[in-house]
Amino acid sequence: MNSNKFCFISCVNDSRYAKECIYYINHLTIPKGYEVDILTISDAASMTAGYNAGMRESDAKYKIYLHQDVFIVNKSFLSDLLKVFEDESIGMAGMVGSPKLPDHAVMWYGDRVGRIYTSNVVSAGISIMGGTETLEVEAVDGLLMATQYDIPWREDLFTGWDFYDVSQSFEFRRKGYRVVVPAMADPWCIHDDGFLNLSNYYKERRKFLAEYGAKQNG
């Protein structure tokens, strides 16, 4: 394991988005003594399968799993992430998260914290949820998930493109690690998520509820 290395891992099906995502990564300030790698996974069978492939391929201690339509605008992102991970009890960090996941497990129907620039078919602008301190959460949104430990993604369970993020948050917590949303004065990322495809979302939700024992299966 290379403790002085970051690796960005993204499942890609749109070369234009991927190119822009990589452009922003390449313009980040790299802390002295560190290096950065970028892995793009094409034709992945699922998000969990793609992320497991990237995790196995990289020896970087710090892995940042992000959507191809996420653009990191905080040039100090890497050094800010190192500050978060100075606390070894923190296993994973995200840009948006749920302090308490609703019993039905649909994150956006409950309280959330974090800061993000958004652009989609519903709205565009700055989404600010909660304060500016680092907050522990039960789950983070999959738009960007940064880790300092390797825990396998539940490829055996989630075979599509939904609930991999909430599942992985719970897997980290099962291992005793904390999951957080860092303190951000301004959003660190733009999420240009456009149209949301939820065709298989509720099927994956049922898998999550069965595995992680939510109180309510409605």
Q: What is the mean pLDDT, run by run of 10 residues, along the chain of 218 residues?
A: 97 95 98 98 96 98 97 98 98 96 85 84 59 89 97 95 96 98 94 68 89 58
All structural domains of the chain, each given as residue ranges with its CATH number in brackets, are 2-212 (3.90.550.10)
The pLDDT value recorded for residue 28 is 98
Instruction: Give the per-residue pLDDT at 130.
Output: 63
pTM of the model: 0.92
Using alpha carbons, select from 90, 20, 200 the residue that is nearest to residue 10: 20
> What per-residue confidence (pLDDT) applies to 17?
94
- Going by C-alpha positions, the residue among 121, 111, 142, 119 that lies closest to residue 196 is 121
**pLDDT for the residue 197:** 55
- pLDDT for 110 equals 82
